[in-house]
Structure 1
Amino acid sequence: MAEKTSFPKVDFVPATAEDYEEVMSISGGIYNGVDYLPFRYHAWLKDPQRRMFLAKCEGKVVGFESFILVDDGTTAVVEGLRVAPWMRGRGLAGMIQKFCFNTLHSDHPEVKRVRLTRPENPPAAMLTKYKVINSKAVMPLLLPADQLEAVLNLMESRVNDLDRSKNLTILGAEEILRFFEESKSREELLSGGFLVQGWLPLTTHKSNLNLLLRRQIVWIYSHPGDSNDSASSSRVTTGCGGTQAYLQGFLSLGTPAYPIPLAEGVHRLDIDLFGNDPSCAKVHILEQLKIAVQALPAGIGIICVLHADESLRTELGQLCEGVTPFYYVVEQMIMEMEI
């Protein structure tokens, strides 16, 4: 006997550009207005590594899900789950995920695991299937357009001489490639070679390099023990300047700021921090913010989402004291399941 549901038959079909408005119509208010999907939807459609699906009921879009193949095709990262408000709590999310898993088994048998990111307090049922493989503190901040300069000046005033002594290097493509190639030193900074950028959980497998480069991320690195000859100001250089090993210090990745549904004239910036040196963390955040602000059109404010080792939460809270917090989530959890 067919399983009974509390709604009519659901059909699953590939998502298209023409479905954008319907998908957005069921996504209102998600993530308190800082949803990434409106900005990424059309780019995702062009990504050959990604598949996107709709759940339709009586011809209407009632759900959405996507997965992207990473780690040389052995891992599927599930992203973007959406369920229409009037269908929530009725088992549709489970149906969508079951469809995606069946698709992986039939069309991508080389996939061995599924990975996803979640905020704090995942459902108990999820914890019976997935294991938590990493977590980070999340600190979202609201920087209105008319306060950007004041906020940067405030943070700058809280950076001491020790913080300023940290050299910052903006990595180019060759240095990023070295990051992926030098496995021993990489693992000293990224446990297990694991990296998350803008809630996309990846390993540093070389096959993921092009995916990351396409995102136009700002990569900033500080080598352990590096400091300026003069401690009066931080210095940013481009390129590695030799054969120095880059992978034992501190790394930050900054997304280009992008528009979000919260309000017209507000963009989102994710800064992912790797390492536990608070001095490095402070100067990296400040530099990433300066770079992002320089690229913003006039009159644009920012929701800046910091992702950092939990051990840094207190000191980063002091750096950002007086900056308006924005309620979003407080923890980022990376979960994985073998299939």
Structure 2
Amino acid sequence: MSMTGDIDGYDLIGDVHGCGATLAVLLEKLGYHQRGGVYRHPRRKVIFLGDLVDRGPRIRLAVTIARRMVEEGQAYIVMGNHEVNALSYSRRCRDGSSCEWLREHTPRHNRIVQETFEQYRDHPAEWEDTLAWFMEIPLCLEIDGLRVVHACWDAPLIERFLARHPDGCIDEDFLYDSVEPDSFAFRVIERLTRGIHLRLPDNVEIHSGDGFTRRTFRAHFWAESPRTYGDVVFQPDNLPGDLELRLLSVDEHAKLPYYAPSEPPLFLGHYWCEGVPALPAPNIACLDYSAVKFGRLVAYRWDGEQALNADKFVWVRVPRDMRTREQPWEVDLD
């Protein structure tokens, strides 16, 4: 297959979540080297799967590396839910609204963005410029025979979205509309960046390893004829009790799109996978392997193949002794 720009292939990189130093190590391992403050490869480009920010120790460094590569034509990127969160958290509601912020400043939301805001606190102009750049990031990407989205490829919804936003990017009105649960914007943002969540039965909760209590679970969308919760659950936390045997309802079935094996290769982040990278389906790769939880920062080296190959995963483990804040000279890549 001939690639756009006469390159040999793409290296897709999962959720960085502020592990900026580890990102630099992974890029070097993939054969990218810094020239003029930008990581470059003579014959390949990177595609970032979103979620550059939050939680990790070197958020500004992660954003700087990715942004410079994108702006220099060395990489593409799609938006993750944490970039959406940052935009909504930082914008006040419009006059006449009953809310103060598009994303409420609750203790839970405050905790999620805490590291990002602390690391940008002394760099307010840089943060505002970063937020403006987030608005330039598309929600999905289809190029050279592959597809990229942070959480879920819902073809009919994406088709409708791209008919209105051909570049795949949202605008301010779309962002403001996205906080209204009945809006088209909400459905697009929720599905593409957060995926499918099925509600747990009443009085059932999941107490996650990250300290949050959840009343929904993440479901995937590549089971052809799913019958039970266990057929679609896709998250590191186990379902309580015997819920994996619970039958899907008609309404729950209706929430699940289906991505068939005949569809183009699809790359996702978002799902906090653990262990050695593996393919959940022959044409689907999830590249989020919990880097910021001392897991792996994972890439897939794609060379045009339609049937993906687990041998083409490349990763770097995130050691605990690297969790120190970046120094100014590490952010200034020049």
TM category (shorter chain) comes to under 0.3
TM-score by length of 2: 0.26
TM-score by length of 1: 0.26
Higher strand share: 1
